[in-house]
Chain A
Protein backbone atom coordinates (compact mmCIF):
# COMPACT_ATOMS: atom_id res chain seq x y z
CA UNK A 1 0.00 0.00 0.00
CA UNK A 2 2.77 2.41 0.97
CA UNK A 3 4.64 1.62 -2.24
CA UNK A 4 1.60 2.30 -4.36
CA UNK A 5 1.04 5.54 -2.54
CA UNK A 6 4.63 6.67 -3.06
CA UNK A 7 4.51 5.71 -6.72
CA UNK A 8 1.42 7.84 -7.21
CA UNK A 9 3.09 10.78 -5.50
CA UNK A 10 6.01 10.41 -7.85
CA UNK A 11 3.65 10.71 -10.80
CA UNK A 12 2.33 13.95 -9.39
CA UNK A 13 5.81 15.31 -9.16
CA UNK A 14 5.94 14.76 -12.90
CA UNK A 15 3.41 17.55 -13.16
CA UNK A 16 0.40 15.31 -13.02
CA UNK A 17 -2.46 16.95 -11.17
CA UNK A 18 -4.64 13.88 -11.20
CA UNK A 19 -3.20 10.37 -11.36
CA UNK A 20 -4.34 7.50 -13.58
CA UNK A 21 -7.10 5.91 -11.45
CA UNK A 22 -7.60 8.73 -10.44
CA UNK A 23 -7.27 8.06 -6.75
CA UNK A 24 -5.01 11.04 -6.07
CA UNK A 25 -5.94 14.65 -6.73
CA UNK A 26 -3.44 17.46 -6.29
CA UNK A 27 -4.14 20.34 -3.94
CA UNK A 28 -3.27 22.64 -6.84
CA UNK A 29 -6.40 21.52 -8.70
CA UNK A 30 -8.30 23.66 -6.23
CA UNK A 31 -6.08 26.71 -5.89
CA UNK A 32 -3.89 27.36 -8.91
CA UNK A 33 -4.64 30.36 -11.13
CA UNK A 34 -3.22 28.62 -14.22
CA UNK A 35 -5.41 25.60 -13.59
CA UNK A 36 -8.38 27.93 -13.24
CA UNK A 37 -7.67 29.58 -16.60
CA UNK A 38 -7.53 26.10 -18.15
CA UNK A 39 -10.86 25.25 -16.51
CA UNK A 40 -12.44 28.33 -18.08
CA UNK A 41 -11.31 27.37 -21.57
CA UNK A 42 -11.41 23.60 -21.32
CA UNK A 43 -14.63 23.19 -19.34
CA UNK A 44 -16.74 26.34 -19.24
CA UNK A 45 -15.88 27.30 -22.81
CA UNK A 46 -16.90 23.89 -24.16
CA UNK A 47 -19.64 22.33 -21.99
CA UNK A 48 -23.40 22.78 -21.75
CA UNK A 49 -23.95 25.16 -18.83
CA UNK A 50 -27.22 25.56 -16.96
CA UNK A 51 -28.91 28.93 -17.51
CA UNK A 52 -32.33 28.66 -15.95
CA UNK A 53 -35.76 27.10 -16.13
CA UNK A 54 -38.52 27.96 -18.58
CA UNK A 55 -40.88 28.76 -15.70
CA UNK A 56 -38.71 31.82 -14.98
CA UNK A 57 -39.35 33.36 -18.40
CA UNK A 58 -42.91 32.52 -19.31
CA UNK A 59 -43.97 35.66 -21.19
CA UNK A 60 -42.40 37.59 -24.07
CA UNK A 61 -40.01 40.15 -22.55
CA UNK A 62 -39.41 38.13 -19.37
CA UNK A 63 -35.75 37.89 -18.43
CA UNK A 64 -33.48 36.59 -15.69
CA UNK A 65 -29.78 37.06 -15.18
CA UNK A 66 -27.52 34.05 -15.36
CA UNK A 67 -23.83 33.27 -15.58
CA UNK A 68 -21.69 31.04 -17.72
CA UNK A 69 -18.63 30.77 -15.47
CA UNK A 70 -17.84 34.46 -14.84
CA UNK A 71 -19.59 35.74 -17.97
CA UNK A 72 -22.87 37.54 -17.23
CA UNK A 73 -25.79 36.35 -19.34
CA UNK A 74 -29.29 37.67 -19.95
CA UNK A 75 -31.69 34.79 -20.45
CA UNK A 76 -34.88 36.06 -22.04
CA UNK A 77 -38.14 35.14 -23.74
CA UNK A 78 -38.29 36.87 -27.11
CA UNK A 79 -41.32 38.50 -28.67
CA UNK A 80 -41.48 35.37 -30.87
CA UNK A 81 -41.65 33.27 -27.65
CA UNK A 82 -38.19 31.85 -28.40
CA UNK A 83 -35.50 31.54 -25.73
CA UNK A 84 -32.48 33.82 -26.08
CA UNK A 85 -29.21 34.02 -24.19
CA UNK A 86 -26.91 36.99 -24.71
CA UNK A 87 -23.85 38.31 -22.96
CA UNK A 88 -24.86 41.22 -20.75
CA UNK A 89 -22.33 43.72 -22.11
CA UNK A 90 -22.96 46.70 -24.38
CA UNK A 91 -21.30 46.62 -27.81
CA UNK A 92 -20.30 50.27 -27.38
CA UNK A 93 -18.41 50.44 -24.06
CA UNK A 94 -19.11 47.11 -22.38
CA UNK A 95 -21.43 48.10 -19.54
CA UNK A 96 -24.16 45.70 -18.48
CA UNK A 97 -27.35 46.68 -20.28
CA UNK A 98 -29.53 44.75 -17.83
CA UNK A 99 -29.19 45.74 -14.19
CA UNK A 100 -32.07 43.91 -12.51
CA UNK A 101 -31.98 40.27 -11.42
CA UNK A 102 -35.23 39.51 -13.23
CA UNK A 103 -38.20 41.25 -14.74
CA UNK A 104 -39.94 42.03 -17.97
CA UNK A 105 -38.58 44.48 -20.51
CA UNK A 106 -39.17 45.74 -24.01
CA UNK A 107 -35.63 47.10 -24.29
CA UNK A 108 -32.36 46.76 -22.43
CA UNK A 109 -30.71 50.17 -22.25
CA UNK A 110 -27.07 50.95 -21.54
CA UNK A 111 -26.91 53.80 -19.02
CA UNK A 112 -23.78 55.40 -20.52
CA UNK A 113 -24.99 56.59 -23.99
CA UNK A 114 -28.37 54.84 -24.02
CA UNK A 115 -27.72 52.33 -26.77
CA UNK A 116 -30.74 50.08 -26.54
CA UNK A 117 -31.28 46.43 -27.34
CA UNK A 118 -34.33 44.26 -27.91
CA UNK A 119 -35.03 41.40 -25.52
CA UNK A 120 -33.69 39.12 -28.25
CA UNK A 121 -30.38 41.03 -28.08
CA UNK A 122 -30.53 43.01 -31.33
CA UNK A 123 -29.25 46.58 -31.27
CA UNK A 124 -32.36 48.75 -31.65
CA UNK A 125 -31.20 52.35 -31.31
CA UNK A 126 -28.01 54.44 -31.22
CA UNK A 127 -29.18 57.86 -29.95
CA UNK A 128 -26.11 59.61 -31.40
CA UNK A 129 -26.50 58.47 -35.00
CA UNK A 130 -29.10 61.11 -35.91
CA UNK A 131 -26.46 63.82 -35.49
CA UNK A 132 -23.90 62.05 -37.66
CA UNK A 133 -23.54 61.28 -41.34
CA UNK A 134 -22.16 57.76 -40.98
CA UNK A 135 -24.69 55.13 -39.94
CA UNK A 136 -23.20 52.08 -38.16
CA UNK A 137 -24.52 48.71 -39.27
CA UNK A 138 -26.72 47.92 -36.28
CA UNK A 139 -27.30 44.35 -37.45
CA UNK A 140 -23.65 43.59 -36.59
CA UNK A 141 -23.70 45.35 -33.22
CA UNK A 142 -26.18 43.33 -31.21
CA UNK A 143 -25.27 41.77 -27.89
CA UNK A 144 -23.03 38.75 -28.28
CA UNK A 145 -25.36 35.79 -28.52
CA UNK A 146 -24.59 32.49 -26.80
CA UNK A 147 -24.18 30.33 -29.91
CA UNK A 148 -26.06 27.30 -28.63
CA UNK A 149 -29.13 27.34 -26.40
CA UNK A 150 -31.28 24.25 -25.90
CA UNK A 151 -33.77 23.14 -23.31
CA UNK A 152 -34.94 19.77 -22.11
CA UNK A 153 -37.95 19.32 -19.80
CA UNK A 154 -37.86 23.05 -19.16
CA UNK A 155 -34.19 23.08 -18.13
CA UNK A 156 -32.34 25.61 -20.29
CA UNK A 157 -28.65 25.23 -21.06
CA UNK A 158 -26.25 27.26 -23.17
CA UNK A 159 -22.83 26.57 -24.65
CA UNK A 160 -20.09 28.77 -26.04
CA UNK A 161 -19.09 25.87 -28.31
CA UNK A 162 -21.10 26.11 -31.54
CA UNK A 163 -20.17 22.53 -32.40
CA UNK A 164 -21.15 20.88 -29.12
CA UNK A 165 -23.24 17.71 -29.23
CA UNK A 166 -27.02 18.19 -28.72
CA UNK A 167 -28.10 18.76 -25.11
CA UNK A 168 -30.09 15.53 -24.93
CA UNK A 169 -27.08 13.54 -26.00
CA UNK A 170 -24.93 15.45 -23.47
CA UNK A 171 -27.32 14.59 -20.65
CA UNK A 172 -27.42 10.98 -21.86
CA UNK A 173 -28.65 8.52 -19.26
CA UNK A 174 -29.00 11.28 -16.66
CA UNK A 175 -32.34 11.87 -18.37
CA UNK A 176 -33.52 8.54 -16.94
CA UNK A 177 -32.78 9.77 -13.40
CA UNK A 178 -33.91 13.36 -13.93
CA UNK A 179 -37.21 12.14 -15.34
CA UNK A 180 -37.79 10.10 -12.21
CA UNK A 181 -38.38 13.50 -10.60
CA UNK A 182 -39.42 15.83 -13.42
CA UNK A 183 -41.82 13.28 -14.88
CA UNK A 184 -43.57 12.67 -11.56
CA UNK A 185 -45.59 15.87 -11.72
CA UNK A 186 -48.30 16.34 -14.32
CA UNK A 187 -47.26 19.95 -14.98
CA UNK A 188 -43.54 19.48 -14.44
CA UNK A 189 -41.71 21.72 -12.02
CA UNK A 190 -41.16 25.42 -11.56
CA UNK A 191 -38.50 27.52 -9.89
CA UNK A 192 -39.74 29.77 -7.10
CA UNK A 193 -38.44 33.32 -7.25
CA UNK A 194 -34.91 34.58 -7.57
CA UNK A 195 -31.95 32.36 -6.71
CA UNK A 196 -30.31 32.77 -3.34
CA UNK A 197 -26.80 33.91 -4.22
CA UNK A 198 -24.16 33.04 -1.69
CA UNK A 199 -20.56 34.17 -2.16
CA UNK A 200 -18.03 31.97 -0.41
CA UNK A 201 -14.23 31.83 -0.31
CA UNK A 202 -14.15 28.34 -1.76
CA UNK A 203 -13.34 26.58 -5.01
CA UNK A 204 -16.35 25.88 -7.26
CA UNK A 205 -15.65 22.15 -7.51
CA UNK A 206 -16.22 21.22 -3.89
CA UNK A 207 -19.93 22.21 -3.75
CA UNK A 208 -20.25 20.26 -7.01
CA UNK A 209 -18.55 17.18 -5.56
CA UNK A 210 -20.65 17.49 -2.40
CA UNK A 211 -23.87 17.29 -4.44
CA UNK A 212 -22.63 14.84 -7.06
CA UNK A 213 -22.50 11.85 -4.75
CA UNK A 214 -21.08 12.68 -1.33
CA UNK A 215 -23.94 11.30 0.71
CA UNK A 216 -21.51 9.73 3.11
CA UNK A 217 -20.46 12.96 4.83
CA UNK A 218 -23.99 13.32 6.23
CA UNK A 219 -23.41 10.92 9.09
CA UNK A 220 -20.36 12.86 10.19
CA UNK A 221 -20.51 16.53 9.27
CA UNK A 222 -24.25 16.76 9.90
CA UNK A 223 -24.47 14.51 12.93
CA UNK A 224 -25.72 17.37 15.10
CA UNK A 225 -28.95 17.30 13.08
CA UNK A 226 -29.18 13.98 11.20
CA UNK A 227 -29.59 11.03 13.57
CA UNK A 228 -27.24 8.14 12.92
CA UNK A 229 -30.16 5.72 12.42
CA UNK A 230 -31.61 7.94 9.69
CA UNK A 231 -28.27 8.05 7.92
CA UNK A 232 -27.83 4.28 8.25
CA UNK A 233 -31.21 3.79 6.60
CA UNK A 234 -30.25 6.13 3.78
CA UNK A 235 -27.07 4.17 3.15
CA UNK A 236 -28.76 0.77 3.44
CA UNK A 237 -31.24 1.67 0.68
CA UNK A 238 -28.83 3.97 -1.13
CA UNK A 239 -27.32 3.72 -4.59
CA UNK A 240 -24.70 5.87 -6.20
CA UNK A 241 -24.69 6.01 -9.98
CA UNK A 242 -22.42 7.57 -12.57
CA UNK A 243 -24.09 7.68 -15.99
CA UNK A 244 -21.06 9.17 -17.67
CA UNK A 245 -18.02 10.82 -16.09
CA UNK A 246 -19.11 13.99 -14.26
CA UNK A 247 -22.82 13.13 -14.29
CA UNK A 248 -24.11 11.26 -11.26
CA UNK A 249 -27.07 10.51 -9.06
CA UNK A 250 -27.63 9.15 -5.59
CA UNK A 251 -30.97 7.88 -4.41
CA UNK A 252 -32.75 5.33 -2.31
CA UNK A 253 -34.67 2.53 -3.94
CA UNK A 254 -37.53 1.93 -1.54
CA UNK A 255 -39.00 -1.58 -1.03
CA UNK A 256 -42.05 -2.27 -3.22
CA UNK A 257 -44.24 -2.59 -0.14
CA UNK A 258 -42.99 0.58 1.57
CA UNK A 259 -45.82 2.81 2.86
CA UNK A 260 -46.60 5.74 0.58
CA UNK A 261 -45.52 8.26 3.20
CA UNK A 262 -42.04 6.76 3.24
CA UNK A 263 -41.61 6.88 -0.53
CA UNK A 264 -43.37 10.07 -1.58
CA UNK A 265 -41.17 12.99 -2.58
CA UNK A 266 -41.42 15.92 -0.17
CA UNK A 267 -42.72 14.07 2.88
CA UNK A 268 -39.32 13.98 4.59
CA UNK A 269 -38.78 17.75 4.53
CA UNK A 270 -39.84 20.19 7.25
CA UNK A 271 -42.68 21.46 5.05
CA UNK A 272 -43.87 17.97 4.22
CA UNK A 273 -43.68 16.79 7.82
CA UNK A 274 -45.28 19.77 9.52
CA UNK A 275 -47.00 21.72 6.74
CA UNK A 276 -50.48 20.29 7.22
CA UNK A 277 -52.96 17.94 5.57
CA UNK A 278 -53.33 19.77 2.26
CA UNK A 279 -49.62 19.44 1.55
CA UNK A 280 -49.42 15.81 2.61
CA UNK A 281 -52.50 14.85 0.61
CA UNK A 282 -51.00 16.53 -2.44
CA UNK A 283 -47.72 14.62 -2.02
CA UNK A 284 -49.53 11.29 -1.53
CA UNK A 285 -51.57 11.94 -4.65
CA UNK A 286 -48.41 12.55 -6.68
CA UNK A 287 -46.89 9.33 -5.36
CA UNK A 288 -50.09 7.36 -6.02
CA UNK A 289 -49.74 8.16 -9.72
CA UNK A 290 -45.94 7.96 -9.89
CA UNK A 291 -45.83 4.42 -11.31
CA UNK A 292 -48.07 5.30 -14.24
CA UNK A 293 -46.01 8.42 -14.94
CA UNK A 294 -42.46 7.18 -14.52
CA UNK A 295 -42.82 3.40 -14.31
CA UNK A 296 -42.72 1.06 -11.30
CA UNK A 297 -38.95 1.12 -10.79
CA UNK A 298 -38.58 4.89 -10.80
CA UNK A 299 -41.73 5.29 -8.71
CA UNK A 300 -39.79 3.61 -5.90
CA UNK A 301 -36.90 6.02 -6.28
CA UNK A 302 -36.40 8.50 -3.48
CA UNK A 303 -33.61 10.69 -4.63
CA UNK A 304 -30.81 12.33 -2.73
CA UNK A 305 -28.29 14.27 -4.80
CA UNK A 306 -27.72 14.72 -8.55
CA UNK A 307 -24.94 16.35 -10.50
CA UNK A 308 -24.75 17.45 -14.13
CA UNK A 309 -21.24 18.23 -15.36
CA UNK A 310 -19.74 20.67 -14.80
CA UNK A 311 -21.59 22.74 -12.18
CA UNK A 312 -25.32 22.01 -11.92
CA UNK A 313 -26.68 20.15 -8.91
CA UNK A 314 -30.13 18.97 -7.98
CA UNK A 315 -30.92 18.08 -4.39
CA UNK A 316 -34.02 15.89 -4.70
CA UNK A 317 -34.45 15.35 -0.97
CA UNK A 318 -34.60 19.08 -0.34
CA UNK A 319 -36.12 20.24 -3.61
CA UNK A 320 -33.40 22.54 -4.82
CA UNK A 321 -31.46 23.25 -8.00
CA UNK A 322 -28.03 24.74 -7.44
CA UNK A 323 -25.29 26.15 -9.64
CA UNK A 324 -21.70 26.65 -8.54
CA UNK A 325 -20.44 29.70 -10.45
CA UNK A 326 -16.66 30.11 -10.26
CA UNK A 327 -15.25 33.53 -9.39
CA UNK A 328 -11.58 32.59 -9.51
CA UNK A 329 -9.88 29.60 -7.91
CA UNK A 330 -10.77 30.75 -4.39
CA UNK A 331 -14.22 32.24 -4.71
CA UNK A 332 -17.58 30.83 -5.68
CA UNK A 333 -21.01 32.34 -6.19
CA UNK A 334 -23.32 29.54 -5.20
CA UNK A 335 -26.88 29.91 -6.48
CA UNK A 336 -29.82 27.89 -5.27
CA UNK A 337 -33.53 27.82 -6.03
CA UNK A 338 -36.47 26.06 -4.43
CA UNK A 339 -38.26 23.90 -7.00
CA UNK A 340 -41.89 22.87 -6.65
CA UNK A 341 -44.46 21.02 -8.75
CA UNK A 342 -45.98 23.50 -11.19
CA UNK A 343 -49.54 22.18 -10.76
CA UNK A 344 -49.58 22.43 -6.94
CA UNK A 345 -51.83 25.10 -5.37
CA UNK A 346 -49.98 28.27 -4.33
CA UNK A 347 -50.42 27.49 -0.63
CA UNK A 348 -48.82 24.06 -1.15
CA UNK A 349 -45.90 25.59 -3.05
CA UNK A 350 -45.34 28.06 -0.23
CA UNK A 351 -45.01 25.20 2.24
CA UNK A 352 -42.92 22.96 -0.02
CA UNK A 353 -40.30 25.66 -0.58
CA UNK A 354 -39.40 25.29 3.09
CA UNK A 355 -38.28 21.71 2.36
CA UNK A 356 -35.36 23.53 0.75
CA UNK A 357 -34.88 26.62 2.86
CA UNK A 358 -35.11 24.99 6.29
CA UNK A 359 -31.99 22.93 5.77
CA UNK A 360 -30.28 24.38 2.68
CA UNK A 361 -29.39 27.71 1.17
CA UNK A 362 -27.57 30.53 2.99
CA UNK A 363 -29.80 30.21 6.08
CA UNK A 364 -30.10 26.43 6.08
CA UNK A 365 -29.56 24.47 9.26
CA UNK A 366 -27.50 21.82 7.42
CA UNK A 367 -25.74 23.80 4.72
CA UNK A 368 -24.08 26.13 7.21
CA UNK A 369 -21.89 23.15 7.98
CA UNK A 370 -21.19 22.40 4.31
CA UNK A 371 -20.26 25.96 3.45
CA UNK A 372 -17.80 26.08 6.32
CA UNK A 373 -16.21 22.87 5.02
CA UNK A 374 -15.94 24.28 1.49
CA UNK A 375 -14.14 27.37 2.78
CA UNK A 376 -11.83 25.37 5.02
CA UNK A 377 -11.01 22.90 2.21
CA UNK A 378 -9.84 25.78 0.04
CA UNK A 379 -7.58 26.97 2.83
CA UNK A 380 -6.21 23.48 3.35
CA UNK A 381 -5.52 23.20 -0.36
CA UNK A 382 -3.74 26.54 -0.44
CA UNK A 383 -1.05 25.87 2.15
CA UNK A 384 2.66 25.48 1.51
CA UNK A 385 4.92 22.44 1.93
CA UNK A 386 2.11 19.93 1.37
CA UNK A 387 2.12 19.57 -2.42
CA UNK A 388 3.64 16.11 -2.07
CA UNK A 389 0.49 15.04 -0.27
CA UNK A 390 -2.30 14.98 -2.84
CA UNK A 391 -5.81 14.20 -1.64
CA UNK A 392 -6.80 10.55 -1.37
CA UNK A 393 -9.74 9.79 -3.66
CA UNK A 394 -9.30 6.02 -3.56
CA UNK A 395 -12.19 4.89 -1.34
CA UNK A 396 -13.93 1.96 -3.05
CA UNK A 397 -11.57 1.95 -6.03
CA UNK A 398 -12.91 -0.39 -8.70
CA UNK A 399 -15.93 -1.51 -6.67
CA UNK A 400 -18.50 0.03 -9.02
CA UNK A 401 -20.21 -2.12 -11.66
CA UNK A 402 -23.08 -2.10 -14.17
CA UNK A 403 -26.53 -2.94 -12.84
CA UNK A 404 -29.32 -4.90 -14.58
CA UNK A 405 -31.95 -2.16 -14.14
CA UNK A 406 -30.09 1.06 -13.44
CA UNK A 407 -28.21 2.76 -16.29
CA UNK A 408 -24.57 3.63 -15.61
CA UNK A 409 -22.00 2.38 -13.15
CA UNK A 410 -23.53 1.62 -9.77
CA UNK A 411 -22.17 1.26 -6.25
CA UNK A 412 -22.77 2.02 -2.59
CA UNK A 413 -22.74 5.64 -1.45
CA UNK A 414 -19.44 5.27 0.41
CA UNK A 415 -17.64 4.59 -2.89
CA UNK A 416 -15.99 7.79 -4.13
CA UNK A 417 -16.10 6.74 -7.78
CA UNK A 418 -18.42 9.65 -8.59
CA UNK A 419 -15.60 12.03 -7.66
CA UNK A 420 -12.95 9.98 -9.48
CA UNK A 421 -15.10 9.96 -12.62
CA UNK A 422 -15.55 13.72 -12.34
CA UNK A 423 -11.81 14.24 -12.17
CA UNK A 424 -11.21 11.89 -15.12
CA UNK A 425 -13.40 14.11 -17.27
CA UNK A 426 -11.93 17.24 -15.71
CA UNK A 427 -8.40 16.07 -16.55
CA UNK A 428 -9.36 15.24 -20.13
CA UNK A 429 -11.01 18.64 -20.57
CA UNK A 430 -7.94 20.47 -19.30
CA UNK A 431 -5.60 18.39 -21.42
CA UNK A 432 -7.64 19.23 -24.50
CA UNK A 433 -6.72 22.90 -24.15
CA UNK A 434 -3.33 22.66 -22.45
CA UNK A 435 -1.45 22.92 -25.73
CA UNK A 436 2.13 21.73 -25.44
CA UNK A 437 2.31 21.61 -21.66
Chain B
Protein backbone atom coordinates (compact mmCIF):
# COMPACT_ATOMS: atom_id res chain seq x y z
CA UNK B 1 0.00 0.00 0.00
CA UNK B 2 2.43 2.64 -1.24
CA UNK B 3 -0.21 5.31 -0.89
CA UNK B 4 0.42 5.32 2.88
CA UNK B 5 3.51 7.44 2.44
CA UNK B 6 1.41 9.89 0.50
CA UNK B 7 -1.29 10.16 3.17
CA UNK B 8 1.27 10.44 6.00
CA UNK B 9 1.75 14.13 5.73
CA UNK B 10 4.24 15.77 8.10
CA UNK B 11 1.27 17.18 10.01
CA UNK B 12 -0.26 13.72 10.29
CA UNK B 13 3.00 12.22 11.51
CA UNK B 14 3.43 14.99 14.06
CA UNK B 15 -0.12 14.50 15.35
CA UNK B 16 0.42 10.77 15.82
CA UNK B 17 3.75 11.29 17.55
CA UNK B 18 2.24 13.96 19.77
CA UNK B 19 -0.41 11.48 20.87
CA UNK B 20 2.20 8.91 21.83
CA UNK B 21 4.43 11.42 23.60
CA UNK B 22 1.51 12.68 25.63
CA UNK B 23 0.46 9.14 26.48
CA UNK B 24 3.98 8.25 27.64
CA UNK B 25 4.24 11.42 29.71
CA UNK B 26 0.92 10.78 31.47
CA UNK B 27 1.91 7.20 32.28
CA UNK B 28 5.39 8.12 33.52
CA UNK B 29 3.86 10.91 35.63
CA UNK B 30 1.43 8.33 37.08
CA UNK B 31 -1.50 10.34 35.79
CA UNK B 32 -3.28 7.13 34.89
CA UNK B 33 -6.80 8.55 35.06
CA UNK B 34 -5.88 11.16 32.50
CA UNK B 35 -4.35 8.43 30.37
CA UNK B 36 -7.59 6.46 30.60
CA UNK B 37 -9.38 9.37 29.01
CA UNK B 38 -7.43 8.60 25.84
CA UNK B 39 -8.85 5.08 25.82
CA UNK B 40 -12.11 4.12 24.14
CA UNK B 41 -14.70 2.39 26.33
CA UNK B 42 -14.77 -0.52 23.88
CA UNK B 43 -11.00 -0.88 23.75
CA UNK B 44 -9.46 -4.30 23.19
CA UNK B 45 -6.05 -4.51 24.83
CA UNK B 46 -4.00 -7.67 24.19
CA UNK B 47 -0.55 -8.96 25.09
CA UNK B 48 0.00 -12.11 23.06
CA UNK B 49 2.10 -14.84 24.63
CA UNK B 50 5.36 -15.39 22.81
CA UNK B 51 6.99 -18.79 22.45
CA UNK B 52 10.13 -20.36 21.08
CA UNK B 53 8.42 -21.70 17.99
CA UNK B 54 9.37 -24.79 16.07
CA UNK B 55 10.83 -23.94 12.68
CA UNK B 56 8.80 -25.54 9.93
CA UNK B 57 11.37 -27.13 7.61
CA UNK B 58 8.96 -26.97 4.68
CA UNK B 59 9.09 -23.18 4.86
CA UNK B 60 12.87 -22.99 4.47
CA UNK B 61 14.03 -20.13 2.31
CA UNK B 62 10.89 -18.09 2.98
CA UNK B 63 10.27 -15.17 5.32
CA UNK B 64 7.39 -17.12 6.84
CA UNK B 65 9.82 -19.58 8.39
CA UNK B 66 11.09 -17.04 10.91
CA UNK B 67 8.17 -14.63 11.02
CA UNK B 68 7.33 -13.02 14.34
CA UNK B 69 3.71 -14.11 13.86
CA UNK B 70 4.67 -17.81 14.29
CA UNK B 71 5.80 -16.99 17.83
CA UNK B 72 2.62 -15.30 18.99
CA UNK B 73 -0.39 -16.72 20.79
CA UNK B 74 -2.80 -13.85 20.31
CA UNK B 75 -6.50 -13.20 20.81
CA UNK B 76 -7.59 -15.22 17.78
CA UNK B 77 -5.45 -18.24 18.69
CA UNK B 78 -6.39 -21.26 20.77
CA UNK B 79 -3.35 -20.59 22.94
CA UNK B 80 -3.44 -18.18 25.85
CA UNK B 81 -2.45 -14.53 25.52
CA UNK B 82 -0.81 -13.09 28.61
CA UNK B 83 -3.46 -10.37 28.75
CA UNK B 84 -6.67 -9.75 26.81
CA UNK B 85 -8.49 -6.93 28.42
CA UNK B 86 -11.40 -4.56 28.16
CA UNK B 87 -11.87 -1.04 29.46
CA UNK B 88 -12.95 -2.56 32.77
CA UNK B 89 -9.61 -4.33 33.23
CA UNK B 90 -7.74 -1.14 32.47
CA UNK B 91 -9.95 0.80 34.85
CA UNK B 92 -9.25 -1.75 37.61
CA UNK B 93 -5.53 -1.31 37.01
CA UNK B 94 -5.81 2.47 37.03
CA UNK B 95 -7.88 2.62 40.22
CA UNK B 96 -5.64 0.08 41.93
CA UNK B 97 -2.71 2.45 41.48
CA UNK B 98 -4.31 4.98 43.81
CA UNK B 99 -5.00 2.55 46.65
CA UNK B 100 -2.65 2.33 49.60
CA UNK B 101 -2.62 -1.47 49.50
CA UNK B 102 -1.46 -2.05 45.93
CA UNK B 103 1.65 -3.51 47.48
CA UNK B 104 3.80 -4.27 44.47
CA UNK B 105 3.70 -0.57 43.56
CA UNK B 106 3.86 0.83 47.06
CA UNK B 107 6.03 2.83 46.97
CA UNK B 108 5.54 3.17 43.22
CA UNK B 109 8.10 2.11 40.67
CA UNK B 110 9.89 4.75 38.60
CA UNK B 111 9.29 4.43 34.89
CA UNK B 112 10.44 6.13 31.72
CA UNK B 113 8.94 5.34 28.37
CA UNK B 114 10.67 6.07 25.09
CA UNK B 115 8.36 5.67 22.11
CA UNK B 116 9.70 5.72 18.58
CA UNK B 117 9.46 4.32 15.09
CA UNK B 118 5.93 5.64 14.84
CA UNK B 119 4.58 4.47 11.53
CA UNK B 120 1.14 4.79 10.00
CA UNK B 121 0.38 1.46 8.35
CA UNK B 122 -3.15 2.04 7.05
CA UNK B 123 -5.91 4.58 7.25
CA UNK B 124 -9.62 4.07 6.80
CA UNK B 125 -11.64 7.26 7.30
CA UNK B 126 -11.15 8.11 11.00
CA UNK B 127 -9.30 4.89 11.83
CA UNK B 128 -5.52 4.83 11.88
CA UNK B 129 -3.52 1.61 12.12
CA UNK B 130 -0.23 2.64 13.71
CA UNK B 131 2.78 0.70 14.92
CA UNK B 132 5.34 2.05 17.33
CA UNK B 133 8.27 0.68 19.31
CA UNK B 134 8.97 1.32 22.95
CA UNK B 135 11.56 0.86 25.63
CA UNK B 136 10.20 1.14 29.13
CA UNK B 137 12.69 1.59 31.95
CA UNK B 138 11.30 0.24 35.21
CA UNK B 139 12.89 0.71 38.62
CA UNK B 140 11.03 -0.82 41.52
CA UNK B 141 12.13 0.43 44.94
CA UNK B 142 14.82 -1.72 46.47
CA UNK B 143 15.03 -3.83 43.36
CA UNK B 144 16.94 -4.10 40.16
CA UNK B 145 16.05 -2.02 37.14
CA UNK B 146 14.44 -3.62 34.13
CA UNK B 147 14.02 -2.77 30.47
CA UNK B 148 10.81 -3.72 28.75
CA UNK B 149 11.21 -3.83 24.98
CA UNK B 150 8.34 -4.20 22.59
CA UNK B 151 6.14 -3.05 19.76
CA UNK B 152 2.60 -1.69 19.89
CA UNK B 153 0.16 -2.29 17.10
CA UNK B 154 -2.63 0.19 17.60
CA UNK B 155 -5.88 1.19 16.11
CA UNK B 156 -6.48 4.88 16.83
CA UNK B 157 -9.69 6.68 16.01
CA UNK B 158 -9.70 10.38 15.32
CA UNK B 159 -12.31 12.09 17.49
CA UNK B 160 -12.42 15.83 17.09
CA UNK B 161 -8.91 17.14 17.50
CA UNK B 162 -7.55 14.08 19.30
CA UNK B 163 -7.12 10.34 18.97
CA UNK B 164 -8.74 7.61 21.04
CA UNK B 165 -7.15 4.21 21.56
CA UNK B 166 -9.50 1.56 20.13
CA UNK B 167 -7.23 -1.46 20.02
CA UNK B 168 -3.73 -2.20 21.17
CA UNK B 169 -1.66 -5.32 20.71
CA UNK B 170 1.60 -5.27 22.67
CA UNK B 171 4.31 -7.52 21.24
CA UNK B 172 6.91 -8.02 23.95
CA UNK B 173 10.34 -9.28 23.02
CA UNK B 174 10.47 -12.10 25.56
CA UNK B 175 9.51 -15.75 25.71
CA UNK B 176 10.78 -16.44 29.24
CA UNK B 177 9.54 -13.48 31.23
CA UNK B 178 12.42 -12.30 33.38
CA UNK B 179 10.54 -9.21 34.50
CA UNK B 180 8.75 -8.50 37.78
CA UNK B 181 5.34 -8.00 36.17
CA UNK B 182 3.64 -7.67 32.81
CA UNK B 183 0.76 -5.91 34.51
CA UNK B 184 1.92 -2.44 33.45
CA UNK B 185 0.21 -0.03 31.09
CA UNK B 186 2.27 -0.36 27.93
* Binding between chains A and B: yes
CB pair A372 B176 closer than 8 Å: no
**Cβ < 8 Å to B, chain A residues 334-358:** 337-338, 346, 349-350, 353-354, 356-358
* A363–B73 touching, CB < 8 Å: no
Find chain A residues with CB under 8 A from B75 CB.
350
Chain A residues whose C-beta falls within 8 Å of the C-beta of B158 in the assembled complex:
none
B65 interface contact, C-beta 8 A: no
A101 to B82, Cβ gap below 8 A?
A: no
When distances are taken between beta carbons in the complex, the residues of chain B under 8 Å from A152 are: none
Contact A196 B177, beta carbon cutoff 8 Å? yes
B101 and A223 within 8 A (CB): yes
| CA of A224 to CA of B106, assembled, Å | 12
Q: Mark B175-186, 1 if CB is under 8 A from A, else 0.
A: 111111111000
Residues of A close to B93: CB separation below 8 A: 365
Q: Which residues of A contact B29 (CB under 8 A)?
A: none
* A158 at the binding interface (Cβ < 8 Å): no
Who on chain A is nearest to B143 by CB?
A375
B77 CB within 8 Å of chain A: yes
The interface residues of chain A lying within 8 Å CB-to-CB of B127 are none
Interface string of B78-95 (1 = CB under 8 A from A): 111111111011001100
Closest Cβ neighbor of A361 among chain B residues:
B82
On chain A, the residues within 8 Å of B96 by CB distance are 224-225, 365
Q: Which residues of B contact A223 (CB under 8 A)?
A: 101
B residues near A, CB below 8 A? 47, 49, 51-55, 73, 75, 77-86, 88-89, 92-93, 96, 99, 101-104, 143, 175-183
Which residues from chain A sit less than 8 Å from chain B, CB to CB? 99-105, 192-194, 196-200, 220-221, 223-225, 270, 274, 333, 337-338, 346, 349-350, 353-354, 356-358, 361-365, 368-369, 371-373, 375
Q: List 18 other contacts, CB 8 Å, given A194-B49, A353-B81.
A: A100-B52, A100-B54, A193-B49, A200-B180, A223-B101, A224-B103, A337-B80, A354-B84, A357-B83, A357-B84, A362-B179, A362-B181, A362-B183, A363-B83, A365-B89, A365-B93, A369-B102, A372-B103
20 A-B pairs (CB sep. < 8 Å): A99-B52, A101-B51, A104-B54, A196-B177, A199-B177, A220-B101, A221-B103, A224-B96, A333-B176, A357-B83, A358-B89, A361-B82, A362-B82, A362-B179, A363-B47, A364-B183, A365-B92, A365-B96, A368-B183, A372-B180
